[in-house]
Amino acid sequence: MNEETLPDKMERGENEEPTGQPAEIPVQEQGAELQSCIDRLQRLQAEFENYKKRTARDVGLLEERAVDRMLVEFLTLYENLERAFRSYTTDHDVEPFVAGVEQIFAQFAQILERYGVERIPSVGDPFDPAIHEALLTVQSEEEKNTIIEEFAPGYRRDGRILRASKVTVSQGPASEEDQA
């Protein structure tokens, strides 16, 4: 039997008689071609499902590798902090302990900088709900909607907010009505 499908023949105009009228295609041939199309669609559907599963698995592996790389960097910091505490418990000398913790803090800052993480400014800036989370609003001498206190800093990376700053926002000075 011919491997060409009905749609292929129709596209080339082979199903037309010389008069331009569609040729009669036997019912058996139509059924076989229809079954061929159904089989092809089922294979394509199965291939697509396999592709989705493979892609999801690959994305999961990439995420795991990225986390592993970051953890390796933090393991060094953890070990340095552990050494600093062990040293302090042995000799109780505060100055080397503080110096060691300061070095670890600097290593943290280097890692964050290397990954493009930057701190979001807050105190003294106007409140922006896209980058700040207001925990409190209080009356103050500062202009209305000015951030007057930061509870926790916010961070962003490549323009994306990793964590919003948790802040207190000024309601402005107390009006005379409020004071009465």
One DSSP character per residue, 33-67 reads HHHHHHHHHHHHHHHHHHHHHHHHHHHHHHHHHHH
pLDDT for res 37:
93
Q: What share of the chain is helix, strand, coil (3-state, %, to 5)?
A: 55, 20, 25
Tokens standing for residue 61: 């592996």
pLDDT for res 1:
45
pLDDT for res 30:
80
pLDDT for res 6:
54
pLDDT for res 55:
95
For 73, the enclosing helix (H) or strand (E) is: helix 27-91
Q: Is 95 helix (H, G, I), strand (E, B) or coil?
A: helix
Contact 121, 138 (CB under 8 A): no
Q: CATH code for 120-175?
A: 2.30.22.10
Segments making up each domain of the chain, as ranges: 120-175
Amino acid identity of residue 174, one-letter, is A
pLDDT for res 176:
63
DSSP code for 113: H
* Bridge partners (DSSP) listed for residue 166: 133, 152
DSSP code for 173: S
pLDDT for res 177:
61
pLDDT for res 32:
85
Of 175, 127, 129, nearest in space to 148 by CA: 127
pLDDT for res 84:
86
pLDDT for res 11:
58
Query: What are the pLDDT tens digits along the chain (180 aa)?
Result: 455 555 565 555 555 555 555 567 777 778 888 899 999 999 999 999 999 999 999 999 999 999 898 889 889 889 988 888 888 888 888 888 888 899 999 999 999 999 999 999 999 999 999 999 999 999 989 899 999 999 999 999 998 999 999 999 999 887 766 555
pLDDT for res 3:
55
Distance from C-alpha of 43 to C-alpha of 49, rounded to nearest angstrom? 10
pLDDT for res 16:
53
